[in-house]
């Protein structure tokens, strides 16, 4: 496994296992973060309409000189845009200055309307407007309900995931259904980076706590999108392919779970 490694989605599309997350990366900071990430070898950028930084991301990708087809771009449909997902998608394309995205996600399982919205997303996919479609923040319950309305299965479910929020049942369910699980906020927004238990494991492998958290996700055969706007940390977060966490320590990390979230809990959405 290296920075170029990919996971084959259920429709055959190859998705890089490591990407740059841009949630809470301001329009002012995100351009440099993209350039540094692409320079460090990242080929996967994750954004969303609600982040307010699609325009700057599009500009940075153009400026980078890296060929568009070599970059995997994900964006997301925001909750207030379910009345017209096609329009929202086209507006995202315009801001990103691209003619397609690789993955379009429904950002949250909005109550009562999500299943109908999925039909529009299927339409976008069938028309060849995006390479893959998926969901974000869907629980097992939301997925099971969605399956009753799908012609096309989601390729990806992007959720908050870390050793401190080890959603084992969701991981097993998605594996069984051939839906790739993708982890956002794997670094717990730095809230757990000083945990002595984590520090002890990091010391053993001569790695940083952040690198251990990222590697743990990868070794669960997931996609991971750590966020940073710091040049050195962006490079450091990608330096996770030269070691393996031993099974004993993986099991130890699995037991860190305390259902610790830094984002909304989708279980509360009916």
pLDDT digits (tens, 9 = 90+) for 121-161: 999 999 999 999 999 999 999 999 999 999 999 999 999 99
- 268 found inside a domain: no
- 267 found inside a domain: no
Domain count, the chain: 1
- 220 found inside a domain: yes
- The per-residue pLDDT for 137 is 98
Kindly report, residue by residue over 208-232, the tens digit of the pLDDT.
999 999 999 999 999 999 999 999 9
The predicted model scores a pTM of: 0.97
CA distance 124 to 133: 9
Q: Average pLDDT, stretch 21-49? A: 96
Q: Average pLDDT, stretch 14-19? A: 99
> Per-residue confidence at 175, pLDDT binned at 50, 70, 90?
very high
Q: Average pLDDT, stretch 60-65? A: 98
> Per-residue confidence at 267, pLDDT binned at 50, 70, 90?
confident
Please confirm, yes or no, whether 248 is among the known catalytic residues. Answer: no
Between helix 85-96 and helix 114-126 the angle, nearest 10°, is 50
Q: Average pLDDT, stretch 14-34? A: 95
Q: Average pLDDT, stretch 182-210? A: 98
- 213 found inside a domain: yes
CA distance 33 to 64: 11
Q: Is the pLDDT of residue 244 over 90?
A: yes
Q: Average pLDDT, stretch 30-52? A: 98
Q: Average pLDDT, stretch 112-117? A: 95
- The per-residue pLDDT for 57 is 98
- The per-residue pLDDT for 238 is 98
| Phi then psi dihedrals of residue 90, to 5 deg | -65, -35
Please give the residue range of the domain that contains residue 219.
Answer: 6-261
- 129 found inside a domain: yes
CATH of the domain at 124: 3.20.20.100
- 221 found inside a domain: yes
Angstrom distances, CA of residue 268 to CA of 139, 142, 155, 186:
10, 11, 24, 21
Structure tokens at 179: 């839906």
Q: Is the pLDDT of residue 207 over 90?
A: yes
Share of the chain above pLDDT 90, in %: 96
Mean of the per-residue pLDDT values for the chain? 97
- The per-residue pLDDT for 24 is 83
- 266 found inside a domain: no
- The per-residue pLDDT for 10 is 99
Q: Is the pLDDT of residue 45 over 90?
A: yes
Residue of 148, 143, 170, 9 lying closest to 74 (CA atoms): 9
In DSSP terms, 135 is beta-bridged to: 106, 157
Angstrom distances, CA of residue 138 to CA of 40, 50, 97, 175, 183:
31, 18, 29, 14, 12
Among 42, 51, 89, 104, the active-site one is 51
- 110 found inside a domain: yes
* 119-124: Cβ within 8 A, 24+ apart: 119/149, 120/85, 120/86, 121/77, 121/85, 122/150, 122/151, 122/152, 123/86, 124/85, 124/86, 124/89
């Amino acid at each position: 496994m290296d920075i170029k490694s990919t996971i084959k989605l259920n429709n055959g599309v190859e998705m890089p296992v490591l990407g740059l997350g841009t949630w809470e990366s301001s329009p002012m900071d995100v351009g440099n973060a993209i350039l540094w990430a692409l320079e460090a070898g990242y080929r996967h950028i994750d954004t969303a309409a609600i982040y307010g930084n699609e325009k700057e991301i599009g500009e940075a990708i153009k400026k980078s000189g890296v060929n568009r087809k070599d970059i995997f771009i994900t964006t997301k449909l925001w909750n207030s845009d379910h009345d017209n997902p096609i329009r929202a998608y086209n507006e995202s394309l315009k801001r990103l200055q691209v003619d397609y995205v690789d993955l379009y996600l429904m950002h949250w399982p909005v109550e009562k309307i999500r299943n109908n919205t999925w039909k529009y997303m299927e339409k976008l996919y069938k028309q060849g407007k995006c390479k893959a479609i998926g969901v974000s923040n869907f629980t097992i319950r939301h997925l099971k309900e969605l399956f009753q309305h799908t012609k096309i299965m989601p390729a990806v479910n992007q959720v908050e995931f870390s050793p401190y929020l080890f959603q084992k049942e969701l991981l097993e369910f998605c594996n069984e259904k051939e839906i790739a699980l993708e982890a956002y906020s794997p670094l717990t927004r730095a809230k757990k980076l000083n945990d002595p238990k984590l520090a002890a494991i990091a010391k053993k492998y001569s790695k940083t706590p952040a690198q251990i958290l990222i590697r743990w996700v990868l070794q669960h055969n997931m996609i991971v999108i750590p966020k940073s706007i710091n040049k050195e940390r962006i490079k450091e977060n990608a330096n996770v392919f030269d070691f393996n966490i031993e099974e004993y320590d993986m099991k130890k990390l699995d037991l860190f779970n305390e259902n610790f979230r830094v984002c909304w809990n989708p279980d509360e959405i009916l």
